[in-house]
Structure 1
Amino acid sequence: MRKIKYKKERKVQPTFLDYTGIHKQIKTEMQMFVYDVNNLTEYQEFKVDDLDKCFDTTQSNWLNVHGLNDVEVIKSIGEYLKVDNFILGDILNTTKRTKLDEYRDVLFFNIKSLLPIENSDNISVEQISFLLKNGILVSFQEKRGDHFTYLRERLRTHSGIIREKKVDYLLYLLLDAIMENFYVTIESEENKVEDLINLSKTSTNPMILELVEKHRDNFNFLKRSIIPLRDSLYSIKSIKDDNIFNAIEMENYSFFDRLHQESLELLEQIEYDVTSLDSASNFYFSQQNHKMNEVMKTLTVVSVFFMPMTFIVGVYGMNFDNMPELHWKYGYFIVLGCMLVLLLGMIYYFKKKKWY
């Protein structure tokens, strides 16, 4: 079971910021896209000091940050966008659950990106955060990844309507790309569960139950990650009803509604998959019971075969003087022959009745 771990010494000063993730050795790097329908400018190895000269209020601006170790860089971005420290703290604190905050003219959104680990039953977790303000979107990733590679290519090649829309539409596309990872993770888990169900039909290895519980924990973790995402996407409706926050255009709220529906579909699929895990457990215990019944059946048949012979041996083991058969010259061989005939007869009868 995955548990949220808190540090024993918690810093309560509002000005204290500290990255709590596991990617401590990754250098903080940035890239900037400034675009509209006709133009695209891409800045690699971007610096915070370049914001003043590169940020264009007449165009859409996307600042992507890889690595959160350099807290001063994160603070500088927050100061430029006039974002309070408690939001920056949520960006750096990877133990926080998915949430949505609307504060003044800034929309803050953080989400857990989940992907299966190759050749493992574990799930890779990365927190990705977004700051949306009029004309600019800032995304924070713990490490470099290929979550948004195809979106960068769409910007460069002017594919689709991405450059015709504002950065709120870009936020929708980024969230959609992350939610695509949930589908990939669930599909990977479903394939493993299917293999597990097939194995449980033929094997009684106790490791099957351990794998069932492992995948059950994975599905529960997925569920715990998607539920707050569903709630956050639903909260965007309240922003629409307030009609105050202007960073999201009215025509683009429908895209976020679509993401909300996808989150509901994901939760329904997880519920179904958890039920499938119960099938694996049932098959395992059925196989165990069937194997035990076969063993008991075999032992019973063997016992029945030897029961009459045991009776015969018991009779001739009695110490009575008047037992004529004891004095026959071939009595011993006759009794053994009768016992053999009786045994073969019982075997034939049981075979004919298909009792074994």
Structure 2
Amino acid sequence: MRKIKYKKGRKVQPLHLEYTGIHKNSESEMQLFVYDDLTLTEFEKINVADFDTNITIQKTNWLNLHGLNDTELINALGDYFAIDSFMLSDILNTTKRTKLEEQQEVLFFNIKSLLPKENTDTIQTEQISFLIKEGVLISFQEKRSDFFTHIRERIRTHSGIVRTKKADYLLYILLDAVMENFYITLEHEEDKVEELINLSKNSDNPIILERIEKHRDNFNLLKRSIIPLRDSLYDIKSIKDDNVFNLIENDNFSFFARLYQKSLELLEQIESDMGALDSASNFFFSAQTHKMNEIMKTLTIVSAIFIPLTFIVGVYGMNFEFMPELHYPYGYYTVIGVMVLIGIAMLLYFKKRRWF
């Protein structure tokens, strides 16, 4: 049974902000998109002091932060937007599971993004968090990445309906972009599983079993990342009429329902792939068992052939004085011939019975 291990990140105090992730050297930078159906303004490397003049509440404002090392900057954002310290702590604590929460007119959502590490069996994990408040969506990324490049291009080129929608729709397409990483990771794992199935049929190298267990851990990591996401999306999908998530417009609940369906598809596919991985493991052990059976069959046949030959050798090795065959001129050759005939006869018998 898997034991729960208490990591350092779990001991971080809510009022004491500390980044617990591994990207300690990522510089903190902010970019701001301010847009509506007719206009778009883009700001690179913006500061909190510039928000009063550049953020327009009547439009959609997307503030993206790369790098979570600058806790003073995170504090400043929390003070400006009146964000609860518990939410800020959850943003910096990467050991937290996926979570959805609405508090003081702020909608908070964090998610784990998984991608395969090139030329390895390892999966890279990054936590991405989102906050929505008064027409402003803030996304927090642990490091600079290209998850949202195509969304920026859609905003710049006025492609689709993103410019006609509010921050809640922007949250939907950002979550959808992160979920695409699950599909990429799952496809990569499926290729590895197919490779392992082929290897398990043709090789008895114990490294194959180690790789099978590694990929089983990867699938479990995927499940642990998707299950809380599925639950959070279900919360959005199921309480459309309860007016709990006031920051999501009624027309946009259907988009989050699509994400919920995607999460179900991912989990179903993971279960199927884990079954295929079990098949690879079974193939490996079956091949090992078959090889051992072949070895034991060969040894048994050899032993069976030599049992009567050993008996003959034992008889003529006895030290009796009066053994008539000992003085026969061709006795030695006769016994050798008989032993050879016995061996050939037994081989033919085993072959006829298809014992080898």
TM-score by length of 1: 0.94
Q: Give the Å deviation of 1:237.
A: 3.5
Match of 1:251 in 2: 251
The corresponding residue for 1:142 is: 142
CA distance in 2, matches of 1:77, 1:4: 32
Match of 1:63, SS state, is strand
CA contact (8 A) 1:5 1:95 kept: no
Task: Verify: 1:292 aligned to 2:306, yes or no.
Answer: no
Q: Distance in 1 between matches of 2:29 and 2:313?
A: 90
1:133 corresponds in structure 2 to 133
Letter in 2 for 1:156: R
Structure 1 letter corresponding to 2:323:
M
Residues 215 and 295 from structure 1, CA distance in 2 versus in 1: closer, same or farther, beyond 3 angstroms? Answer: same
2:243 partner amino acid: N
Equivalent position SS for 1:68: coil
Counterparts of 2:212 and 2:28, CA distance in 1: 39
* In structure 2, C-alpha distance between the alignment counterparts of 1:351 and 1:69, rounded to whole Å: 74
The one-letter code of the counterpart of 2:135 is: G
**Corresponding position of 1:182:** 182
Match of 1:265? 265
Alignment of 1:29-68 (within 5 A): 29-68=29-68
Alpha-carbon distance, 1:245 to partner: 4.2
CA distance in 2, matches of 1:36, 1:176: 21
Contact 1:155 1:162 in 2 (8 A): yes
Whole-Å separation in 1 of the counterparts to 2:218 and 2:122: 8
Q: Deviations over 1:237-275 (max 9, x none)?
A: 465323254421110010001111111111111122222
Q: Following TM superposition, by how much is the alpha carbon of 1:227 offset from its aligned partner in structure 2, in angstroms? A: 1.1
Q: CA deviation at 1:70?
A: 0.8
What secondary structure is seen at the aligned counterpart in 2 of 1:26? coil
Are the equivalent residues in 2 in contact too, given 1:201–1:283 (CA < 8 A)? yes
The one-letter code sitting in structure 2 at the alignment partner of 1:7 is K
In 2 relative to 1, CA 52–122 (structure 1 residues): closer, same or farther, beyond 3 Å?
Answer: same
Q: What is the alpha-carbon root mean square deviation over aligned residues?
A: 2.0
CA contact (8 A) 1:91 1:110 kept: yes
Deviation (angstroms), 1:318: 2.4
Consecutive unaligned residues in structure 1, runs of 5 or more: none
Aligned to 2:8: 7
Which residue identity is paired with 1:148?
F
Q: Which segment is superposed worse, 243-252 or 217-226?
A: 243-252
* Structure 1 residue 351 displacement after superposition: 3.5
Identity of paired residues, percent? Answer: 65
Instruction: Measure the CA separation in 2 of the matches of 1:198 and 1:241.
Output: 51
- Is 2:300 aligned against 1:331? no
For the residues of structure 2 that align with 1:125 and 1:192, how far apart are their CA atoms? 19
Instruction: Output aligned runs, 1:189-204, within 5 Å.
Output: 189-204=189-204
**How far is 1:311 from its partner?**
2.0
Counterpart contact for 1:113–1:127, Cα < 8 Å: yes
Distance change (3 Å), C-alpha of 1:2 and 1:93 = farther
What secondary structure, in the 3-state scheme, does the structure 2 residue paired with 1:337 have?
helix
Pair 9,104 (structure 1): closer, same or farther in 2 beyond 3 Å: closer
SS in 1 for 2:65: strand
Change (3 A) 1:280 1:166: same
Residues 195 and 64 of structure 1: CA distance in aligned 2, closer, same or farther (over 3 Å): same
If the length of structure 2 is used for normalisation, what is the TM-score? Answer: 0.94
Decide whether aligned partners of structure 1 residues 139 and 257 sit closer, same or farther in structure 2, where only a CA change above 3 A counts.
Answer: same
Query: In the aligned structure 1, how far is the partner of 2:350 from the partner of 2:22?
Result: 67
